[in-house]
Structure 1
Amino acid sequence: MQKCSSCKREVTDDYVKFKCPKCGKSVIVRCMKCRDNVIPYTCGECGFEGP
């Protein structure tokens, strides 16, 4: 099961998954609620902070 990188909730639908835009090593998972509310996330590999 996938977990949102921002809120840490398990996601089953309505989410996106992409590689870190800085290092490309870590996979970022974002639920639609966190995306819509522009909640920040942090890459576990390089420490990059987004949205």
Structure 2
Amino acid sequence: MSMVKCTSCNAPLAERGATEFKCPECAELIRRCARCRHQSIPYACQKCGFQGP
């Protein structure tokens, strides 16, 4: 069984405040942990390379 991890920091998404949403460019699923969301750590879609805060 694979664990769901943050797109930015690769941390497991087990805590409150984590989210997942579709990439605005290609609809690939992007997952963010609470820490990366609150600190606005950049992320990049692994499929198309779209970058966001």
TM-score after normalising by structure 2: 0.84
More strand by share: 1
Q: Percent identity?
A: 48
Stretches (4+) displaced over 3 A: none
Q: Gaps spanning 5+ residues in structure 1: where?
A: none
Give aligned pairs, total. Answer: 50
Q: Gaps spanning 5+ residues in structure 2: where?
A: none
Which residue identity is paired with 1:11? L
Alignment RMSD, CA only? 0.9
